[in-house]
Structure 1
Amino acid sequence: MEKNLKFVHKLSEKEIVEVKQLEKINKDDRNVYYKLCPQSLDGTDESVYHILFEEQGRLTAYMSLSTYDIDEMEITPILNGDKDKFLKMYQLAIDKAKQFKAKKILVIVDENDSSMIGILNDLGLNYTFCEYRMVFDGREYHPAVESIDNELSIKDAGSENIKQVTYLDQNGFRCSGESSDEDMGDVNLTDIKLVFWKNNIIGKIKVEEKDGVFAIYGFVIDPNYRRRGFGKKFLKIIINSILKTDYKELYLEVVSENIAAYTLYISLGFNKQSTFNYYEYELKNE
């Protein structure tokens, strides 16, 4: 049987369709979800690369490689538990991670994917943490924003806000146990909105949209302004604006240890859809 292992930066339209089909098959047959966003497939996210495993011209396994952090590479594999296929893709991913000067690899798998977890355990990868993917339901959501503060406003981030965004990334996320895409490297202000109170920037959020699917990333409130209701008001304003569109889905992800954020999201109508486990492999000594 003809087999082909391919590494690419951009997927063709045909390959995008095949990856989505492979993802759907595994979701339907095995109740397994994957940490993939639409931007990671359509080529708009320059930090994402792809490994494709083809047999007889048909895609049978896939791996997403994300280089958001200069020190690590995140890997999301889609396959049906075939260890040989995974090992071939994984070795190629390690080679690419070394080329990118990454210090470690993080393999992300659904906690329901027992076959994939078994493979990672056999390889000696260490479980490090997990995060929840939460999807907005909204049936019990109340759009009214309690006690609107006239001094609370939201604006798009601009180049003049790089210093404040960096401050929020470096301080807000470390306090919550979360991490941010802007922790390392250049600050990307695309799709970032800032919340102001009395002309002070007190928080930020990133909202991405593709084909009616909205994703919330990097939501953080300055530690000096927490426990005052700003975060909930900020999120409700964002959610209300999304509800005015023809949205198909709204989701976010939160580290399981961040109980305060998880509780807030539950109160706003988000439900846990899946749990992603992170397994680490160190490269620095190789």
Structure 2
Amino acid sequence: MENQKHTITMSMKLEFDKKEYNAIKSLEAICYEKQKTNLKLELDFKMYQRKNSIKNKIMAEFFYYDNEILVGYLGLCNFHGTSVEVSGMVHPEFRGKGIFKKLYLLAQEEWQKLCPAEVLVLCDHSSSSGLAFINRIGAEYGSSEYKMCLNKKVLQANSNKGIKLRVATNKDTIEIERQSSIYFGSPEKEADNEEDIENTSIQIDDNFISYIAELEGKTIGKIHISTTDNEGFIYGFGVLPEYRGKGYGREILCLALDILKKKQVDNIFLDVATENKKALGLYESCGFEEISVMDYYIVS
């Protein structure tokens, strides 16, 4: 019997298809099973951004195959402003072969063409291999965030302040971008023309929904929820400055949790910056518990 030819393939794509999505998720599961490494790949959110952004986002996907099996992956994405986030992984049995370095250098060529204001490499706080790579490239620590999961044993009490969550429509695009600029420091995006706004869909389907929080008909905040693999996620949550300190944030969060619970998801997750003590206190008081820490390193 002839020996099979050993093939190595590297590729870059601007978006992934369903087969590639499943391959990335499988590799992520292997990495977690072997080393309990948490990753922030945001695959579903990236698909949402690609389909619904008014202007093009900085996104790219890099794949490393060994005999047609995905053993290395790196993704680029910018969620807020012009900063680019870099995240990825290598199969535990294929580490020490320079795979991630090859993917990183390929990705570096791509982002240098776009000249982002900042490049951030993400790494699980407990990942020794990830931290070793970051040390090799000389990236500097920038910040951290907690990934939190709702403790099902803690019951949420809605204070009933009269807030309603309204499903966002295409007409809310500019308002959502405006609020994001307030909460996350990202610059507001401008549509090239009215047709861009009309063609921008806020809601993909029942798996990713944006909500506008209203009190007596006035907009006071926003929140996004998504579901994938029978798990729920909360994104982009915020209350406008003039409405803070009145308990509205808690009610908005509880209303979103009620929506996710009705979907009968197994778990509900969110991320929060470690320095955001007010938000952290709110989430903890609503029953969320820290399950991992993600560090952000700035590439010089």
Q: TM-score range by the shorter chain?
A: 0.7 to 0.9
Task: Give the conservation status (yes or no) of the 8 Å contact 2:41–2:88.
Answer: no
Looking at structure 2, the residues matched to 12 and 160 of structure 1 have their Cα atoms a distance apart, in angstroms, of: 29
1:3 paired with 2:21, answer no
1:145 paired with 2:158, answer yes
Change (3 A) 1:13 1:194: closer
Percent of aligned positions that are identical:
22
Looking at structure 2, the residues matched to 8 and 110 of structure 1 have their Cα atoms a distance apart, in angstroms, of: 25
1:237 paired with 2:255, answer yes
Most deviating of 104-113 and 81-90: 81-90
Matched with 2:64 is 53
Task: Give the conservation status (yes or no) of the 8 Å contact 2:81–2:187.
Answer: no
1:134 paired with 2:148, answer yes
Task: Give the conservation status (yes or no) of the 8 Å contact 1:38–1:210.
Answer: no
Deviation at 1:128, TM superposition (A): 0.4
Looking at structure 1, the residues matched to 42 and 283 of structure 2 have their Cα atoms a distance apart, in angstroms, of: 20
Gap regions ≥5 residues in structure 2:
1-5, 51-56, 192-199, 204-208
What SS does the aligned partner of 1:52 have? strand
Gap regions ≥5 residues in structure 1:
174-178
Among 84, 108, 120, the residue aligned to 1:106 = 120
Change (3 A) 1:40 1:170: closer
Deviation at 1:211, TM superposition (A): 3.9
Deviations 1:158-197 (A, max 9, x none): 34444543442233x2xxxxx27x6453587443211112
Most deviating of 229-238 and 61-70: 61-70
Change (3 A) 1:37 1:167: closer
Task: Give the conservation status (yes or no) of the 8 Å contact 1:83–1:119.
Answer: no
Deviation at 1:273, TM superposition (A): 1.5
Task: Give the conservation status (yes or no) of the 8 Å contact 1:105–1:280.
Answer: yes
Q: Which amino acid aligns with 1:66?
A: C
Looking at structure 1, the residues matched to 189 and 97 of structure 2 have their Cα atoms a distance apart, in angstroms, of: 34
Looking at structure 2, the residues matched to 198 and 166 of structure 1 have their Cα atoms a distance apart, in angstroms, of: 22
Matched with 1:192 is 210
Deviations 1:99-153 (A, max 9, x none): 33323321111011111111111211111001111112221123x312x234x22
Query: What count of residue pairs does the alignment treat as equivalent?
Result: 271
Matched with 1:154 is 165
TM-score by length of 1: 0.85
Change (3 A) 1:69 1:92: farther
Looking at structure 2, the residues matched to 77 and 97 of structure 1 have their Cα atoms a distance apart, in angstroms, of: 15
Matched with 2:293 is 275
What SS does the aligned partner of 1:278 have? strand
Among 7, 23, 33, the residue aligned to 1:28 = 33
Change (3 A) 1:205 1:70: closer
Deviation at 1:12, TM superposition (A): 3.9
Task: Give the conservation status (yes or no) of the 8 Å contact 1:54–1:61.
Answer: yes
Matched with 1:176 is none
Matched with 2:108 is 94
Matched with 2:226 is 208
Output the aligned Cα RMSD: 2.3
1:17 paired with 2:22, answer yes
Looking at structure 1, the residues matched to 140 and 213 of structure 2 have their Cα atoms a distance apart, in angstroms, of: 38
Q: Which amino acid aligns with 2:237?
A: F
Deviations 1:189-209 (A, max 9, x none): 443211112322111111122
Among 283, 288, 291, the residue aligned to 1:265 = 283
Looking at structure 1, the residues matched to 172 and 20 of structure 2 have their Cα atoms a distance apart, in angstroms, of: 38
